[in-house]
Amino acid sequence: MTEVLAAGHVRKMKTQLDSPVQYTMLLGDEEIPLNQYLGQRLGLHFDGAINCIHCGRKTAKSFNQGYCYPCFKRLAQCDGCIMSPEKCHYAAGTCREPEWGEQHCMIDHFVYLANTSGLKVGITRGSQVPTRWMDQGATQALPIFRVDTRLHSGLVEVVFKNHIADKTNWQAMLKGDADHCDLEQERIRLLAECMAEISALQQQFGLQAVTVLEGQSPTLISYPVLEYPTKVSSFNLDKTPFAGGILLGIKGQYLIFDAGVINMRKYGGYRLSLTRD
């Protein structure tokens, strides 16, 4: 007999750093702890309704993981500089929402190394540590710089991504954990390779703008996975309004079923029901 566990508009899953990570699905006002359902048959059913995760407006299509088109075009959090922070244009006076920029971009950020599908560099606000790492499916993470604005974090990231990846290969991440990295040794190596460019940024913006972090302890993360797939295929709720099967694991923002995987963050604002057989 099929049991409806919850229904409502979905948001990205909540995470809690534990061993393994504890996941909670958000459907409307309901919160459903998911780890307890590993090994059970679950279904996600899309009823065709999408509402913007910012303004609540009904929309036929979702943009940027949950926004209606007007919000996508208007909000600073949807601007291209969020994905490419080195393109921040706050100083030019053209930020879409200067107050939002002051609260979210003109504050301390961290540049970090993480092991997701392999070694990568990334950036995040301090308030998003360690959430950002869990959302990416990282098994190891290490902050290596503290910077005073999002722009400066982007400029440091550009320097580093000439030497290492800045993106996760999500298919590889979902096939298993990457080989263990010595993040401290990688930090030392990359600093040596990039120090001339980092020093140039410090001279341009000041020593306090880009601070090298030393003596940080890596964060180790494990995920609730019974079995990784050998081949990764994705559910697409826009084409087929159902995803599910036996829940084999959760990693990053992905649910891993025996019949395929689904990125829950991609479907922000979709009205879903979660069932158990």
Question: Can you give the residue ranges of every domain in the chain?
Answer: 3-66+223-276, 72-220
Residues 90-119 have a mean pLDDT of 96
Cα–Cα distances (Å) from 141 to 43, 49, 109, 181, in that order, read: 32, 37, 15, 10
174: Cβ–Cβ under 8 A, 6 or more apart, which residues? 137, 228, 229, 232, 251, 252, 254, 256, 261
Residue 93: the pLDDT is 95
H/E run at residue 90: none
Tokens of 193: 């390779």
Residue 185: the pLDDT is 97
Q: What angle do CA 255, 14, 157 make, to 5 degrees?
A: 90
Q: In the chain, what's the furthest Cα-to-Cα distance?
A: 67
Inter-residue contact 128 to 108 (CB < 8 Å): no
Per-residue pLDDT of 149-165, as tens digits, reads 999 999 999 999 989 99
Residue 244: the pLDDT is 98
Distance, in Å, from the CA atom of 160 to the CA atom of 154, rounded to the nearest integer, reads: 10
pTM recorded for the entire structure: 0.95
Per-residue pLDDT of 223-269, as tens digits, reads 999 999 999 999 999 999 999 999 999 999 999 999 999 999 999 99
**DSSP E strands, the chain:** 3-16, 22-27, 30-33, 41-50, 109-115, 119-125, 140-147, 210-212, 219-220, 242-251, 254-257, 260-263, 270-276
Tokens of 180: 């263990």
Residues 191-219 have a mean pLDDT of 96
Tokens of 98: 């200067």
Residues 49-69 have a mean pLDDT of 97
Residue 1: the pLDDT is 84
What mean pLDDT, rounded, does the chain reach? 97
Q: How confident is the model at residue 15 (pLDDT cuts 50, 70, 90)?
A: very high
Residue 150: the pLDDT is 96
Distance, in Å, from the CA atom of 145 to the CA atom of 39, rounded to the nearest integer, reads: 40
Distance, in Å, from the CA atom of 252 to the CA atom of 139, rounded to the nearest integer, reads: 10
Residues 1-19 have a mean pLDDT of 96
- In which order are the strands placed within the sheet that holds 270-276? 30-33, 22-27, 3-16, 270-276, 41-50, 242-251, 254-257, 260-263
Residues 35-57 have a mean pLDDT of 97
Sign, CA torsion 104/105/107/109: positive
Half-sphere exposure of 150 (CA within 13 A, CB side): 20
Residues 12-17 have a mean pLDDT of 98
Inter-residue contact 260 to 272 (CB < 8 Å): no
Q: Is the pLDDT of residue 193 over 90?
A: yes
Inter-residue contact 94 to 81 (CB < 8 Å): no
Residues 138-158 have a mean pLDDT of 97
